[in-house]
Amino acid sequence: MAKQFPALSDEHAAFIARQHIFFAASATADSRINLSPREASAFRVLGPNSACYLDQTGSGAETAAHLLVDGRLTIMFCSFEKVPLILRLYGTARSLMRGTPDYAAVLQTGFDGAESPGARQIVLLEVALVQTSCGYGVPFFDFVSERQQLKTWAAGQGDGGMAEYRARKNTVSLDGLPTGFGTTPTAE
């Protein structure tokens, strides 16, 4: 049975901290819906109604584009081990672009100032609703390890190579919406 909460509890935050993956979903009224898996070690609960994740450079930038236009974001965690549970965070979010004062402030407070190779933004979510549901239909999976290919590739590109890649691949969404990459200063 689904339960709804106006904010994240300590129990919710503890559940999130035990997960290895989460999914971020965004869209605009006229765009494709984007659903992306993310490494849960990049996620932070900042307070009862605030959370964020450190986003890595990828082949697209749909979430950034959708947040510029619409702002709605849903984050979903689900347990693949032991006790079944699905936890969704609904709210509005914004992209804090690498190299901006807001990015630096959240990086310092939420990530002790450490960023992964290829970091391009922090997605900051204002949580309006938390919903849990049973998760009985979610299969069991055993976690083996995080993949290192993306971080290894980004480290090999260096700051200049990552900036060039984002300029080629991350400035517009699949639907031609601007993402905000390439329009703000970066710390590269």
Provide the CATH number for the domain around residue 31. Answer: 2.30.110.10
Average pLDDT over residues 8-31: 97
Average pLDDT over residues 50-73: 96
179, part of any domain: no
141, part of any domain: no
Average pLDDT over residues 83-101: 97
184, part of any domain: no
DSSP helix/strand/coil, 15 = helix
17, part of any domain: yes
Instruction: Give me the domain span that covers residue 53.
Output: 3-136+149-169
Average pLDDT over residues 127-139: 96
116, part of any domain: yes
Residue 33 has pLDDT above 90, yes or no: yes
177, part of any domain: no
What is 118-162 written as a DSSP string?
A: TEEEEEEEEEEEEEEE--TTSPP--------HHHHHHHHHHHHHH
143, part of any domain: no
The percent of residues in the chain predicted with pLDDT above 70, rounded, is 97
Instruction: Count up the domains in the chain and report the number.
Output: 1
132, part of any domain: yes
